[in-house]
Structure 1
Amino acid sequence: MTTVPAKAGTKGMPRAARERQALAAATEEFGRHGYEATTMAAIASRVGVTKPLLHQYFGGKQDLYLACLNPIGDRLLGAVRTAMTEPAAGAPPTPLRVMDALFTALEGQREAWFVLYDATLPPGSDAAHRAAHYRDAIDDLAASGAADLLHTAGSDDPLDADALKYAWRGLCTALVRWWINHPDQSPEAMTRRCARIFAAARHIGLADGDDRP
């Protein structure tokens, strides 16, 4: 997993490269500590630039957060949309394709998930509204997938679909958090792990008396 070392140093570095380094460090800081606890001073120190220079490049903390969020939101939303398109014959089931797409999109910036799903964003702020835009779009896709999955299983109860949507978000968050704590695990290994977990969950359902094929 790619991380930015403390006080990386940027003397003589082109501005574009310095900005990319600052965004990588900021993404990691926001993802690890949350918006509220992250400071511009801490990010500047990690990158090896002055705080005024960081403000010169990105503006205030909210502007820097948005500069981190937008590519993350676009990447994750695009990954989920692609994974939910009509699969080719023999492709893995949709939930597994979605997990594989998320792990692949997050590799190298695993903390980015928690930039998008940050509970410390100031209510009513531009940051909160923008994050909600991406979360709502991903939730809409999850709701559609949940409804399709439940319909296949014989349920058309909208509350079932709504509950499954929230459970799915919680599962994704828990798995990404576990993945961050196991940096040796590749996206491919995580997808295989999810396949085993999903198979076990289905087996538990069958053990509880569900005899559907």
Structure 2
Amino acid sequence: MSIKKDFCFPEMFLSMNDLGWLDSNNIVYGESLVSQKYLWLYDMRWLTCNKVINYEYDEDESDSIVPFAYTSGGDKWAWYLEDKPLLPVVFCPHDDDEGIIYAENIEAAVFRQILEFASQNNFNLEECKSWEMDVQMAKKHLVNWKNKFKKWFKKEWINELDKLISSDLKYYENKFARHTGRYYVFITPEEANEKIEKYLNFDLLNKPFIWTIED
């Protein structure tokens, strides 16, 4: 089973594909992620248009989704075909039949990824661990995303990126039942959620849905 014949790629995704941003063959190992032709994003590993077209669905996977990226943990990002013409982006965890509706469209999904990047434990002021980066490299990514997506992003989104680029890291504590996470962020997770609600809200935001074939 392959994607439905009447599926049409969003314009931004087609442009990204044509520019070579989605092709992992364009990654030059040993060079900075910022300077790559392939577009690194916080937790979206892209599929090219050709790979999307030739995507092979699992037996229990509904064809109401069209996967276009995946996470480092094997979860899927996809377009949801049950709400045309919006074509919202959904998150499909590999270990759960229930996903969430992540964003109204691909543009909003990328902007949300950037906000979540700025609010997670990706950074350090001193010695960086393998998954962390210093503030200079983080800001290079923010500038790169701003420059690449300004054609498609709303003005208020660009304004938020400018604020992130001009801000400093701040200490944050995330308290759980048995431990406290301590790290640095540009904005807190709570602030990121407020911005997502402010700029990206629509009727289906964060609503659950079943992305597998029900028995």
Q: By the TM > 0.5 criterion, same fold?
A: no
Q: Judging by fraction of residues, say which structure has more strand.
A: 2
* TM-score when normalising by structure 2: 0.29
> Greater helix share, 1 or 2?
1
The structure whose Rg is larger is: 1
Structure with more relative contact order (C-alpha pairs < 8 Å, separation 6 or more): 1
Q: What is the TM-score when the length of structure 1 is the normalising length?
A: 0.29
